[in-house]
Amino acid sequence: MKRSIKFKERVLGTLDTLTILGMLLLYLFVLLFIILTMDIIFNSGDDIAVSIITSILFVLPLTIIFFYLSKILFSIFFQKDDKLDGLIISKKDFPQLYETIEEVRIHCKCPKIHVIGLDYSNNAYIREGSKFGLAKWKKRYLVIGVPLLLLLNERELKGVIAHECGHLSRLHSRSTQRISWKMKGLKKYLDKLTQKGKYDSFTARLVKKYIINLNNLYYQLRKNHELEADIIAAKEVNKQTLINALIKMDFYEGIFSGYFWGAMTEYNKKDEKIIEDIYFMMERAMKGNLEIPEEIFTNFLEGIRNYNSLPGSTHPSIAERAKSLGAVIPSLQGTFNGDLISIFKDSYESALRTLFKNEAQNILHNMSVKWAKLSEERWTEYYKYINEESCYNRHGNLFLHRKKS
């Protein structure tokens, strides 16, 4: 990370810490002042009416300040958030999975992860749920998408998880969240100035300049955080394994998804019912039974090799990340089997099958059923939409045919 960016990050962190400490001191001072004022009022010997009036004049404003400070500090230190859309994987049922994650976590010097869950994304992330800030305790969830478990082998998955652990061990989210909160507050303040007709005032110009600087710093930090987490992950696996995993994830989003869901639409056109074994079908598609031309793979890899991220991107491009680590972007050489796996010269062995072993079938079944329930309404609407489009096209073609004749 560039020293100037790191310095700005530390300055912001120090200012925020001092702000919170200042609020805590003010909070304690107001509380103490309320108690002392009440004690003086009720021990002064004045009649009840005078005591009530004095309380209203002195204690009520302090109580209002105390209430708002309590509200702000409570939101900083305490949080209840344990909702997870997906499937919780218990440590008792899958000890090997927890041991694997624990091993990665320790190597990356990451805080403890309490719960592992599965969702429907092609991603893995660590989410902090309920927290008790004064004791520095937070409940942490590692969430892994089933498509990602099917796409990557165990070593590649370790690299992705190590990357996420790297973010947490370096407290990356803390600094970016601070900047987001600051920008949100400043934008609200700027809106108020605009409503008062003071958009071009000296104060408004200062606020706008500060927002622009914070926005630039935000994107610089996000990119540098990714590169920093990559270095940590490359120590856990190796640099090429991590880059291969990133390429596969990008391929899933950019190429595979379009072909797969297109095939599912055609496959299901007759009855239009929700597919209840979607992840079994996805696993078969991962093995190379989708007819994706070799040219698509070649162009995809060439695109990755030549693409650089924009200034407003939160992530560096894969080419930039590979260059930072000293890894390479692979190319198609030798026998091509019509699937992404052959690019990396490995046989298809998903992390889901190696980590969950005999329970892999149950995991795929349970997540397929959950996905079907979650997506049923959207699935129905989708087929209604494509049927309407089909009907429109048929009438449109008929109209054109008549017009020509």
Query: By 3-state DSSP, what share of the chain in percent is helix, strand and coil, each rounded to 5?
Result: 70, 5, 20
In a domain, 397, yes or no: no
In a domain, 388, yes or no: no
Do 109 and 57 share a structural domain? no
Range of the structural domain that residue 30 is part of: 3-79
pLDDT higher at 332 or 280? 280
Please state, in angstroms and rounded to a whole number, the distance separating the CA atoms of residues 203 and 193: 9
Tens of pLDDT, residues 387-404:
565 554 444 443 333 333
Residue 236 has pLDDT above 70, yes or no: yes
In a domain, 383, yes or no: no
Tokens of 108: 């990356």
User: What pLDDT score does 272 carry?
Assistant: 62
How many residues are there in the chain?
A: 405
Do 281 and 181 share a structural domain? no
> Which residues lie below 8 Å from residue 110, measured CB to CB, with a gap of 6+?
104, 165, 166, 168, 169
Do 71 and 52 share a structural domain? yes
H/E stretch holding 233 reads helix 202-236
DSSP 54-92: HIIIIIHHHHHHHHHHHHHHHHHHEE-----SSEEE-TT
pLDDT higher at 405 or 355? 355
In a domain, 381, yes or no: no
Do 325 and 230 share a structural domain? no
Do 227 and 165 share a structural domain? yes
Q: Which of 33, 49, 79 is the last residue of a domain?
A: 79
Name the band, by pLDDT with cuts 50, 70 and 90, for residue 270.
low
In a domain, 384, yes or no: no
Tens of pLDDT, residues 301-318:
899 999 999 988 999 999
Do 216 and 93 share a structural domain? yes
Name the band, by pLDDT with cuts 50, 70 and 90, for residue 12.
low
In a domain, 377, yes or no: no
Do 244 and 231 share a structural domain? no
Tens of pLDDT, residues 145-171:
999 999 999 999 999 999 999 998 888
Name the band, by pLDDT with cuts 50, 70 and 90, for residue 51.
low
Q: Which of 210, 236, 262 is the last residue of a domain?
A: 236
Do 224 and 96 share a structural domain? yes
268, amino acid identity: N
Residue 343 has pLDDT above 60, yes or no: no
Residue 215 has pLDDT above 60, yes or no: yes
Domain count within the chain: 3
Do 54 and 105 share a structural domain? no
Strands (E) in 4-108, as ranges, are 78-79, 87-89
User: What pLDDT score does 94 carry?
Assistant: 87
User: What pLDDT score does 349 carry?
Assistant: 81
pTM: 0.75
Name the band, by pLDDT with cuts 50, 70 and 90, for residue 347.
low
Poorest-pLDDT segment among 75-84, 143-152, 226-235, 259-268? 75-84
Residue 42 has pLDDT above 50, yes or no: yes
Please state, in angstroms and rounded to a whole number, the distance separating the CA atoms of residues 391 and 379: 18
Tokens of 159: 């690299």
Average pLDDT over residues 346-374: 87
Packed helices 239-251 and 294-306: angle between N→C axes, nearest 10 degrees: 120
List alpha helices for 237-327, DSSP H: 239-251, 257-267, 278-284, 294-306, 318-325
Tell me if 150 sits within 8 A of 352, measured CB to CB.
yes
User: What pLDDT score does 135 carry?
Assistant: 42
In a domain, 392, yes or no: no
Please state, in angstroms and rounded to a whole number, the distance separating the CA atoms of residues 288 and 137: 45
In a domain, 98, yes or no: yes
Do 329 and 244 share a structural domain? yes
User: What pLDDT score does 31 carry?
Assistant: 80
pLDDT higher at 53 or 337? 53
Do 145 and 111 share a structural domain? yes
Q: Which of 219, 236, 253 is the last residue of a domain?
A: 236
Do 244 and 232 share a structural domain? no
